[in-house]
Each structure stands twice: as C-alpha cells, then as structure tokens.
Amino acid sequence: VVTLLTDYGPGSEHVGALHLTIASLLPGADRIDLAHDLPPGEVRYAAVVLARLAAVLPGAVHLAVVDPGVGTPRRGAAVALRGGGALVGPDNGLLGPAARALGAVGAVALAVPPEAPSTFHGRDVFAPAAARIADGADPAALGEPYDPAEIVVPDLPEPAVAPGRIRAMALGTDRFGNLELLAAAGDLAAAGLADGERLTVRAAGGVHDALLGRTFADVAVGDLLVHLDSHGLLAVAVNGGSAAAVLAVAPGAPVTVERRA
Amino acid sequence: VVTLLTDYGPGSEHVGALHLTIASLLPGADRIDLAHDLPPGEVRYAAVVLARLAAVLPGAVHLAVVDPGVGTPRRGAAVALRGGGALVGPDNGLLGPAARALGAVGAVALAVPPEAPSTFHGRDVFAPAAARIADGADPAALGEPYDPAEIVVPDLPEPAVAPGRIRAMALGTDRFGNLELLAAAGDLAAAGLADGERLTVRAAGGVHDALLGRTFADVAVGDLLVHLDSHGLLAVAVNGGSAAAVLAVAPGAPVTVERRA
Amino acid sequence: VVTLLTDYGPGSEHVGALHLTIASLLPGADRIDLAHDLPPGEVRYAAVVLARLAAVLPGAVHLAVVDPGVGTPRRGAAVALRGGGALVGPDNGLLGPAARALGAVGAVALAVPPEAPSTFHGRDVFAPAAARIADGADPAALGEPYDPAEIVVPDLPEPAVAPGRIRAMALGTDRFGNLELLAAAGDLAAAGLADGERLTVRAAGGVHDALLGRTFADVAVGDLLVHLDSHGLLAVAVNGGSAAAVLAVAPGAPVTVERRA
C-alpha cells in the first residue's frame, strides 16, 4: 500500500504522474489518495493532516509532497516507522508530526538523480523511493542515513489558555468552511469551558457569538458552533454556512474563543 | 467492490479517510469513486446521481454520504439490494431512489459507536459498515432491522406538463454548465414537443431562446440547446458555454421550457 | 492497466461513470487517473499532457476524452501502439501527439451504438472500447480500420526564435499558476539564452521582468522565473505566486521572452 498526500490539486496531471510512476515501478500496488486539495505550500496544515491519516494505516508507505522549497538544499527524506511503514517526502516540517506520532526508527536523505529537473521531486525522487520501499527495499539503501531526531518539526504553537478563554492558531479549513484550530479537549478543560456555553469568537473577520456544542444542528442555520471536531481539535463551524468565510482568517492567524459575559 | 459518493469535495482529506478506513478493514478491495464534487448538502441531486450510477454495478456495496443532518436522530442505514449489493449512508432521502430502482430487500439502522464524534459518521459509521458488508457480513448483524418501505424518499416533484410546455425542477449542474431538469422523454412526448422545435426557456436568469436538439453542435456557439441528456433527463446546455450561468437557477428552482410562437 | 484523462472535472460523476463502466466490463483492472482538471474543451493542451503521461506506461490502454465535438461526425478512435498499448478517444487532435511519440501501428474508427445518446461517448463508446482492449480484444474488431497516418494532429505552432528572443504559444497552467509555453531547451539554445540571464516577458497582462533560472527559489518571492519545467518545456512561474494571474494569457495566446537590455 502506498498513500499519496499533496497540494498538487485534485485531478491534476502532477497527481497522475505520481500514480504512473508508482504503477510503473510496482504494478498492482494499492495506491490510496489521502488528500490533494491542501492549500498550496501550507506545510503546517498538511503536516497535521498527514499525521492523523497515516495513523490509520501505520504499516503503509506514505508519500507526502507539499514542497514550496523544492530545488533548494532542504533534505528529501525517507523515514522508517516503528510499525513497519515509512514516510517519504521533503523534510521541511511536513513529516515531523507523523514521524513523532508513529515513531521514526530511521531516516535517510534521498539522493537526487543528477539529471532530474529542479521542480518536480515528487515524480523524480519521492514517488520512486516510495515505490521501492513498498516493494521491500531497505530505506537505508536509498540515501545517506541521518538521525531521526533531526527530522524537522513545524512550528505548531500551543494555544494560550486562561480561565474562560483560548487563543489558538487557525490551522485550515475544509470544503464546508469548518475552521480547525490548534487546540484540543484538554485546552477546553483547562479553560473551564463546557458543552452548552455561550461564547464569543474573535478573528480577523470580526467578533461573533457562538455556542460550544457537539454537532451542527445544535445551533440555528447561519449561527456559529464551536466544537471538538472529528479529529479531536477545536473547530468553528456555521450551520449550513462557512465559518472560514465569516471569520476571514488565513492559516496561521490567531482566533480567540471565550466565555460570553 | 465498494463505491464512494459524497459531497466532501474532490481530493479532500475526508474522502481520503473513507478510503483509508475501508482499506484498513478490507485490504485489496476495489474502491471506485463515483462522485465527490456534489453540491454540499444537496440531498436530492445526490440521490438521483447515486441511483443512476449504482445501477451500473448493482452487486457492489455503494457508500454514499451527503449528510447535512449528521448528529441529529436521522437514521444511518444499510440497505440490502435484490441484486446482492447494498447501499450504506444516511437515510435522509439520499438512498431512496437507488433503493427503489435496485430493489431493497432489507434495511438496518446502523449503530453509532458511543465514542464516535457527532460530525463524521462517514468515517466512523458508514465506511466501516460498507467494508464489513463487502467482506461478506450480513447487514442484519450491523444494527436494528426496519421495514425497507420506511426508507426516506426525497421530494422530487413531477414536472407540470401542458401542450407545448414543461415546467420542471432544476436538479443540478456539471462542470460544463449543463443544467439537468427533473423531466424525461415521456414528458416531452406528453407536451408534444419534438426534435428541431424552437423553444423559450424561462428561469430566474431571464427568458432565452433555445432549440430542442440532440447534441451541442445543433446550435451555434453561445446558443441554448434543450436536449435529453445522457441519463435520459431533460437538460439545458449552451454550446461552448454554461447554461447554469446563463439561467442562474439554484437547485430546486423551477425552469419552464415551452414552444416558441 | 487502463488510464483515464478527461476534462470532466475532478470528482465528477462523469469520471465515476467511466470507472464504473470499465470496472463492470473488466473487474479488477488497475485504473489510473492521469488528469481530470484539464481546461474544458482545450484539445491541444490535453494532447500534450496525454503524450507525456502515456509515455510513462506505453503498454497500457490510455482512455482520453476531451471532446467538444461529441455527437458531430468526428471519428472516435482506438489506436494500437508499437509498445503493445493503445489510445482510445476522439480523433480530434487529442490523440495525435501521443500516437506520434509512442508509434501508432493501427487505427480503427469505433462504432457508436445506435441507441447511444449523442453527448456521452466517453461512457458509451470509449470506456467500453478501452476495457475490451485491456481485456485482450483486438482493436481491429471494434470498428473500421483506417490509416494511422490520418490520425488528426493538433495545431501546435513552433515558436518563433530570433537572437535573444522566443515567441511561443501559451499551452496551459497548473494549480500553482505555472504557465507552460510551447518551446523547449533547443529553442533557448537557438536564441542564445543561458541560465542567469535577465529577461523581459511580454503577454496580454503586460510587460514584466524575469530571470532565466532553474528553480523557484532562484528569484525573490513575487518575482518571475523563466525555466525549463519538469516536462522540458519553457515555463513562466512566480515564486510563491501565480504567473498565470500575472500574465493573464489564455491558452493559445502568444508570450514573448527576450533578453533584457
């Protein structure tokens, strides 16, 4: 099994090229598309998505490419995982959370073929490495080993928590406009916030009333819901609408959720 | 074989999570993406699309999730089909047309794991059920049986047909801007409209001339064509353009097609 | 192996219908999506993309549908390739470059079932033919043979090259806004342009400074890079931005790259 996660865009020829490369080296491999609509170049969000999806199949080879620095000296890596699988992609922060969550037991800096163009390491470096590892190759045979402790971890700031108040980084949004924040159940508990509380949400797009609830129907259509999403992260949603549009925050920007007086 | 139809958006991590869940429970399953670009929460259009696509492989397990009421008491269902296949998804109207067309011989209300979040039954309820049924499990073992006659059928209004005139609901549109209406060949016959007739199309976006024809090239570039589309439904197209843009109708809105004087 | 390349849109039910048709005729086939986000009806760009992707798996059956003239008398074709594979799709220019690059050893005009609608030959003509050929059928059994020399070749104009200057057709763009031009390394050499030169780029969107380089990081964020892309074609990129947006050129329009005085 080889999984694929990129910011190439769904249905793009770049995704097709990864599939073809893997299929040509490893006919019959089960190739699973994890996500291709990730925001271009947003390494942090992609790193969080990779970590949670890879955890479902820890024994697979996970090919991930969000690589705004392709062609610069950043390492391309293959990371061997405790569970038998591997991560393959640029070592620019993308692999860090998954490597920590799944346990990195080895890392190699992948060699770049001298004739490869400087702009498509997904096709020319990472997909071939993923196919070879899925075919049983030892990652150590594909490049220079390095200490897995050196794998780059992205800057994912802890939320600032005070009584009745959480200030967290906006991570990203999905097609439904759900805005995911870098905070979790423990932060809600630490802030003393409980289900059913009336909240205020502050972001670039202004100040909005919200409810701390469990599902979209807990609020009226058009109203804001703050909830723990299906990945255990704090998220803002609008029932039948888009929190991303209402709050108008870019990935990386701060959002404050606090008890309404 | 497991097929997947959702409104999650192409290339989204939610689609990836369904694939991973199925692959983890049933390695080597052939997973076929039917559609993921369906308009968010538009149950009726998705129900029509599911029914026509599922008919191509009636023995497969069809996982379908367009679920604006996730987390409310609406049933999650597995429906056993006469041809040996099954439908799995929210029983909110989405499954009704396919269940009728393919013959429902049993239905169960799927149990929701108590620890599951309230917002992603696709991953936590429906994908596991689909994988287990594709693996040979009896749907009856996955929840409480109920009468298949209770499967919710969406409100798909019959067109109003008069001599020379059809008023029908706008169902949805594709990437090319073809606008599909809830009317068929029998309605054209009942209205006495025949190939080559000059028509008027009335919709929110105004009144437009059109031709009743068979293919896009029957009209000049930029002109409107009314035709029976590849699914046997009445549709409006613009040669080299977008009927959806010209007519500016939302799904569910009425469109009138009538003989031009 | 059957590959699929269309302009149907990623995640659309039209793509799903192709997969279902192939899976129903040839269960267990490895179906590889090459690209589905190609600009609607842009045959020339799709033809170039098909040729370079098909070359990775020359023994596969490549199903390609960008077919603005569906329902007109243009031929539908199955083309047998020297390497054992085949091309299947409308003979409207889409297949020409791949047929030339991979070597066409036979061609048949596919029969259209009399009951087939005039608007979805992808599902009703091309996908069934692709599945049958992948299943071992002789293409010659699927229609009337014709001379492969008659396969339509699209109008892909050679660039105009002068000392220090290349004028080339804009081919298309990807999600990152990279704009690909119909010129290659030989044209750069013929123009006497070398890595590191300062350039002027002229297009509909105005006149812009650029650098001839190798990778995005060769220029500052927001600046223009002219480079040979990963397919060996001349391309314009903006580091961290979109050259397609900056240059505002439609596919087919001219772009001039010349040495800055």
Where residue B8 falls among pLDDT bands split at 50, 70, 90?
Answer: very high
What is the share, in percent, of chain C residues with pLDDT greater than 70? Answer: 100
Closest CA relative to residue C251, chosen from C48, C11, C31, C98: C48
Nearest to A13, CA basis, from C64, C134, B51, C210: C64
Mean confidence (pLDDT) of chain B: 96
Strand partners, A80: A86, A106
Interface test with B, best of C6, C119, C121 (most B CBs within 10 A): C119
Under 8 Å between Cβ of A27 and B28: no
Contact B9/C11, CB-based, under 8 Å? yes
pLDDT at C2 over 90: yes
The DSSP code for A23 is: H
Q: Is A245 helix (H, G, I), strand (E, B) or coil?
A: helix
Minimum Cα–Cα distance from A32: chain C residue? C32
Distance (Å, whole) CA C184 – CA C174: 18
In tens, the pLDDT along A8-55 reads 999 999 999 999 999 999 999 999 999 999 999 999 999 999 999 999
Interface of A with C (CB under 8 A): 7-17, 19-21, 23-24, 27-28, 40-41, 68-72, 117-120, 123-124
Of the candidates B11, B56, B175, the beta carbon closest to that of C20 is on B56
Quickly list DSSP for A135-197.
Answer: TT--GGGGEEEE-GGGS-----PPPEEETTEEEEEEEEE-TT--EEEEEEHHHHHHHT--TT-
**For chain C, counts of helices (H) and of strands (E):** 7, 15
The answer on pLDDT for A140 being more than 90 is: no
Mean pLDDT on A84-96 = 97
Q: Are A36 and B70 in contact (CB < 8 Å)? A: no
Q: What pLDDT is stored for residue C73 in this prediction?
A: 86
Those residues of chain A whose CB sits closer than 8 Å to some CB in chain B are 1, 3, 5, 9-11, 30, 32-38, 49, 53, 56-57, 174-176, 214-217, 227-230, 232, 240
Q: Do B11 and A229 touch (CB under 8 A)?
A: no
Confidence check: pLDDT of A193 > 90: yes
Could you read off the pLDDT of B107-121 as tens digits, one per residue?
Answer: 999 999 999 888 899
Q: Is C14 in Cβ contact with B57 (below 8 Å)?
A: no
Of B9, B27, B117, the CB nearest to A229: B117
In the predicted model, is pLDDT for residue A226 greater than 90? yes
Taking the C-alpha atoms of residue A253 and residue A44, their distance in angstroms, rounded to an integer, is: 12
pLDDT tens, residue by residue, C3-52: 999 999 999 999 999 999 999 999 999 999 999 999 999 999 999 999 99
What is the model's pLDDT at position C81?
A: 96
Put simply, the answer to whether B174 touches C9 (Cβ < 8 Å) is: yes
Model confidence at B261, in pLDDT bands (50, 70, 90)?
confident
Which partners does chain B have (≥3 C-beta pairs < 8 Å)?
Answer: A, C
List pLDDT tens digits, range C108-138. 999 999 998 888 999 999 999 999 999 999 9
Q: Mutate one of B14, B176, B219, B227 to test the C interface: name it (highest C CB count within 10 A).
A: B176
Test mutation, A13, A45, A49, A176, chain B, max B CBs within 10 A? A176
* Model confidence at C72: pLDDT above 90: no
CB pairs under 8 A between A and B: 90
Is residue A38 within 8 A of residue A48, CB to CB? The reply is no
A131: pLDDT confidence band, cut at 50, 70 and 90? very high
Instruction: State whether residue C122 is helix, strand or coil.
Output: helix
- Residues A66-95, mean pLDDT to the nearest whole number: 94
Contact at CB, B33 and C23, closer than 8 angstroms? no
What average pLDDT does chain A have? 96
Nearest-Cα distance to chain A for C114, in Å, is 32
What's the mean pLDDT in C78-103?
A: 97
The answer to whether C196 and C260 have CB atoms below 8 angstroms apart is no
Q: Smallest Cβ distance to A11: which of C10, C227, C240?
A: C10
Quick check: B13 and A49 CB within 8 A?
Answer: yes
* Rounded CA separation C123/C4 (Å): 12
Cβ contact, residue pair C53, A12, below 8 Å: no
Comparing CA positions, the residue from A151, A135, A142, A69 lying closest to residue A110 is: A142
Cβ atoms C44, C154 nearer than 8 A: yes
Work out the average pLDDT over A140-167: 96
pLDDT tops 90 at residue C80: yes
Q: Which of B126, B113, B123, B112 is nearest to B13 (CA)?
A: B123
CA angle C140, C146, C152 (to 5 degrees): 120
Across the interface, whether the CB atoms of A20 and C1 are under 8 A apart is answered no
SS (H, E, C) B47-71: HHHHHHHHCCCCCCEEEEECCCCCC
Cα–Cα distance for residue pair A63/A3, rounded to 1 Å:
6
Neighbouring chains of C at 3+ CB pairs under 8 Å are: A, B
pLDDT above 90 for A71: no
Largest CA distance in chain C: 64
Give the best residue of A5, A18, A34, A179 to mutate against chain B (max B CB count within 10 A).
Answer: A34
User: A–C: how many Cβ contacts below 8 A?
Assistant: 90
How confident is the model at residue A207, as a pLDDT?
96
CB atoms within 10 A of CB B261: 6
CA–CA separation, A252 and B6 (whole Å): 29
Distance (Å, rounded) from C-alpha B214 to C-alpha C71? Answer: 8
Instruction: Summarize the confidence of residues A203-221 as an average pLDDT.
Output: 94
Chain A residues lying within 8 Å of B69, measured CB to CB:
217
CB C213 within 8 A of CB A72: no
- CA contacts within 13 A on the Cβ side of C130: 35
B227 burial via Cβ count (<10 Å: 0-12, 13-18, 19+): buried
Confidence of residue B83 (pLDDT cuts 50, 70, 90): confident
Q: pLDDT tens digit string along B171-204?
A: 999 999 999 999 999 999 999 999 999 999 999 9
The reply to whether residue A68 touches residue C37, judged by beta carbons under 8 angstroms, is no
Spatial contact of A76 and A152, defined as CB atoms under 8 Å apart: no
pLDDT(B106) > 90: yes
Give φ, ψ of A82 to 5 degrees.
-55, -40
Please tell me which residue of chain B has the smallest CA distance to A12. Answer: B11
Query: Does residue A77 contact residue A90 with C-beta atoms inside 8 Å?
Result: yes
Contact at CB, B53 and C17, closer than 8 angstroms: yes
Q: Encode pLDDT of B155-170 as tens digits.
A: 999 999 999 999 999 9
Tell me the nearest-neighbour CA distance from B162 into chain A, angstroms: 37
- Out of A37, A56, A174, the one facing B21 most closely (by C-beta) is A56
- Please, are residues B5 and B46 in contact by the beta-carbon 8 Å criterion? yes
CB contact under 8 A, B12 and A35: yes
CB B76 within 8 A of CB B121: yes
- Which residues of chain A does C34 touch, with a Cβ-Cβ cutoff of 8 Å? 13, 16, 19-20
- Percent of chain A's residues with pLDDT above 70: 100
Within chain C, where are the H helices? 13-25, 43-54, 96-102, 121, 127-134, 185-191, 243-247
CB contact under 8 A, A32 and B41: no
Does residue C261 sit in helix, strand or coil? coil
Q: Assess whether pLDDT exceeds 90 at residue A80.
A: yes
| Best CA proximity match to A182, nearest among A88, A78, A257 | A257
Q: What is the pTM of this model?
A: 0.96
- Mean of pLDDT over chain C: 96
Contact B10 A227 (CB under 8 A): no
pLDDT band, very low/low/confident/very high, at A143 (cuts 50, 70, 90): very high
pLDDT of A83 strictly over 90: no
Q: Quick one: average pLDDT of B69-89?
A: 93
d(CA B35, CA C10): 9
> How far is C14 from A123, CA to CA, in rounded Å?
27
Question: Cβ–Cβ of C120/B11 closer than 8 Å?
Answer: no
- In the structure encoding, which two tokens stand for residue C76, read together? 């539908």
pLDDT of residue C231: 96
Give B-chain residues touching A216 at CB under 8 angstroms.
68, 70-71, 119
